[in-house]
Amino acid sequence: MTQQPPMQQGQPGAARPGQMTAVMRAVQASGPKVLRIGVVHAGRVTEERIIKQRSHVTVGPNEKSMFVLATQNVPANFRLFELIGNEYWLNFLDGMHGRVALPSGVSDLSVLKGQARRTPQGAYQVKLTEDSRGKVQVGDVTFLFQFVTPPPVQPRPQLPVSVTSGASAIDWTTTMIVAFCLLAHTMLAAAAYSDWFDQVVDEDTAVAGLIESMSRLPAPPPVEDKPTEEDITDAKATDKPTDEPKKATNAGGKAAGAGANAGAGKAGGLSDKQAAALASELDRLEMATLGAMSSSGPATAGVLRTGESVGGALDKAAAQNTGVSGGSDLKLGGGGGPLKPGETGTAGLGSLGSAGKGDTSGGTGTVSKPKGPTGSASVGGASVSGGSVSNASRVVAGMRAGFRSCYQRGLAENPDAQGSIRLTIRVGPNGEVQSVSASSSGSLPGSVVSCVRSRAQAAQFDPPEGGSASIAVPVSFVKQ
């Protein structure tokens, strides 16, 4: 076998040197020694630095110094080690202490002052060699120095040969396929999130179609307002009769009762024909009464809500010839003519009190005895201040029935009670009632005032525009 000559570094295909070879070459090519400095503070080495590039070493309180000191005993940027030409010189002042090893021996700085030369700045200057070492104390900081061989230069990082040699062997076919697939997927994703394929919509046509479809929708059913528990209580209190019937008989009534009893027979009650005729006559009387309540008198709704007496309207209704008379098919006996409110006598309905009861003594009917006085409550206009409440008038008007119920209970305590109350309602941001103050006048009991205040406290208004509002409500109570 023939031995191949070794490849030279400059020949093509020659292997590059390894890391160890590069380090050895860097060590061989190193220049003169460099300065190594350690900083000792409070007995501990706080910093160590190798001055790879030969330059001045400065100390002092200036932040531009290489070693920053907190002491003020040295100048701002004092050159402790000064590079003159290619050699280092040690500069020290009178306040500095230390020892230096020179070719002539180890000497203190105080001894070297006689051998050193003075600089224009007043510092002592001593020449150092590559074998010199020592320490210099500046205040409470000690600098240790010596000259050492410069560290080897780190080689530049390089990729392994196995990696760099494979860069020329790329599978271009596979690379092109991967690149094309990536491009196709990117285009598909962009098309999915774009509006290129969206259908063009005509806004006028869409709005017209929406309006036409809404016009074909059936009308919504009417919303029925469910009565609240408070309204039901007020209605029961209003519809409750205040008069209890009390039977009273007289001589004329006995005769009428006897005649009615004889006409009705011994069966003890009305026949079906008579009951139907009586119901028909009562319906006609009711319709005539409602018809007589024209616009000149109180409204029917007002009568049902407030319980106010409408005697004039009832008189007009009684003047009609639709009252129950003795000439009807009921054959109740008694004289003819319409029945008027408060009129007693021998009218047809007057003998109903004893008909069918077997009372041979007869009678003219029942006499009502009132239980006590009734009262009405009137609510004045609501005065809003501090903000605007849209439904203030409607909510205040709805409190009237509750105020009237409070006054009716007060009349049971004091029949002569009447007067007025001025309410001041404080409405919160959400429409809730925060506080209610009431000032009363007249002879109203305290229970009426507290009841009216609690009714107003339970009210709910729309949120005021200004965040809060105050509503003043005058309420008057009159005994009837």
Question: What architecture (CATH level 2) is domain 28-148?
Answer: Sandwich (2.60)
Residue 302 three-state SS: helix
Find the radius of gyration of the CA atoms of the chain. 60
Higher pLDDT, 292 or 455: 455
* CATH no., domain 375-479: 3.30.1150
Q: Residue range 403-432: average pLDDT?
A: 88
Residues in the chain: 480
117 Cβ neighbours under 8 A, 6+ residues apart: 124, 125
Cα–Cα dist 248/344, whole Å: 12
pLDDT value of residue 465 = 86
In DSSP notation, 245-280 reads EEE---HHHHHHHHHHHHHH-TTSS--HHHHHHHHH
Between helix 311-319 and helix 272-292 the angle, nearest 10°, is 120
281 membership: H or E segment, kind and range: helix 272-292
Residue 458 has pLDDT above 70, yes or no: yes
Per residue in 310-358, pLDDT (tens digit) is 444 445 544 554 444 444 444 444 444 444 444 444 444 444 443 344 4
User: Percent helix, strand and coil across the chain, each rounded to 5?
Assistant: 30, 25, 45
Average pLDDT of the residues in 241-257: 43
Residue 261's pLDDT is: 45
> Which of 134 and 22 is assigned the larger pLDDT?
134
Rounded Cα–Cα distance for residues 230 and 194 (Å) = 61
For the chain, the structural domain boundaries read 28-148, 242-370, 375-479
pLDDT(183) > 90: yes
Beta pairing, strands 87-92 & 97-102: unpaired
% of the chain surpassing 90 pLDDT: 19
Answering whether pTM is above 0.85, one says no
What average pLDDT does the chain have?
74
Q: Tokens 């409750």 map to which residue? A: 240
pLDDT of residue 136: 93
Task: State the residue for tokens 């000149």.
Answer: 296
Closest residue by Cα to residue 473 from 465, 459, 323, 92? 459
> Is the pLDDT score of 87 beyond 60?
yes
Q: Which of 239, 475, 254, 268 is nearest to 374 (CA)?
A: 239
30/102: higher pLDDT = 102
* pLDDT value of residue 19: 64
Q: Quick check: 131 and 147 in contact, CB under 8 A?
A: yes
Structure tokens at 472: 């003043």
Quote the CA–CA distance of 29 and 143 in Å, as a whole number: 30
For 406, the token pair is 């409070």
**Pair of tokens at residue 75:** 């100048």
Name the pLDDT band for 280 (thresholds 50, 70, 90). confident
pLDDT of residue 207 exceeding 80: yes
Question: Can you give the pLDDT at residue 410?
Answer: 85
